[in-house]
């Protein structure tokens, strides 16, 4: 799937990995990998923030007897974004649940048409999701969270953002199918 050349440092050479990443070609590869795996990188960071927040919360509540009021909101924000970015990752890797009983029974040409109609329908639903998600963000821009005072629109922005990413992934798949003929 990834057509980018990878630097191939040998594990036995000390500093080879650092040298490969610090070279212009290695840096370009690292940047292109990060862009290609944007959802995975952000989701991993959010998971780390979530785990750290829960750990801090437990430690301060039960060990120091001084609970934080903000950790629940941080965990909620991270969870919402992780769920929607996870849906986008599942779309990108074609890992959503598929019931292919009917397409397995019909001729290959008809199955292909059914898959295209399905993709177009999903893209249409995602476009509605972007539109409604933007309206939700607009409506919640002046509402703030209790502990941190952060506008809740930042949490709800996960809906249109991830729907837009899913549209991009589905369009890529649709164009790939069209190129195959």
Q: Where are the domains of the chain?
A: 17-180
- What is the overall mean pLDDT for the chain? 86
Percentage, residues of the chain above pLDDT 90 = 56
Is the pLDDT confidence value at 10 over 50? Answer: no
Is the pLDDT confidence value at 114 over 60? Answer: yes
Is the pLDDT confidence value at 34 over 80? Answer: no
Among candidate residues 98, 141, 149, 143, the one with its CA nearest the CA of residue 119:
98
Residue 165: Cβ within 10 Å count: 20
The encoded tokens of residue 177 equal 């199918």
Is the pLDDT confidence value at 164 over 90? Answer: yes
| pLDDT value, residue 37 | 86
pTM over 0.75: yes
With b meaning 16 or more CB within 10 Å and e meaning fewer, what string describes 7-17?
beeeeeeeeee
Is the pLDDT confidence value at 16 over 60? Answer: no
With b meaning 16 or more CB within 10 Å and e meaning fewer, what string describes 22-52?
eeeebeebbeeeeeeeebbeebeebeebbee
How confident is the model over 70-91, as a mean pLDDT?
94
Is the pLDDT confidence value at 120 over 60? Answer: yes
Give the least confident one: 15-19, 33-37, 49-53, 165-169: 15-19
């Amino acid at each position: 799937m990834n057509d980018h050349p990878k630097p191939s440092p040998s594990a036995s050479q000390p500093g080879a990995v650092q040298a490969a990443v610090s070279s212009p070609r290695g840096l370009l590869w690292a940047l292109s990998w990060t862009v290609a795996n944007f959802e995975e990188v952000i989701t991993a960071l959010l998971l780390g923030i979530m785990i750290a927040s829960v750990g801090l919360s437990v430690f301060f509540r039960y060990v120091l007897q001084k609970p934080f009021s903000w950790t629940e909101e941080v965990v909620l924000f991270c969870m919402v974004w992780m769920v929607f970015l996870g849906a986008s990752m599942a779309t990108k890797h074609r890992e959503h649940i598929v019931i292919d009983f009917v397409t397995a029974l019909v001729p290959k040409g008809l199955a292909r048409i059914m898959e295209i109609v399905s993709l177009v329908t999903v893209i249409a639903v995602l476009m509605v999701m972007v539109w409604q998600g933007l309206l939700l963000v607009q409506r919640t821009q002046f509402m703030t969270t209790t502990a941190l005072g952060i506008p809740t629109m930042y949490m709800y922005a996960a809906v249109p953002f991830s729907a837009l990413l899913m549209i991009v992934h589905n369009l890529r798949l649709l164009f790939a199918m069209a190129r195959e003929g």
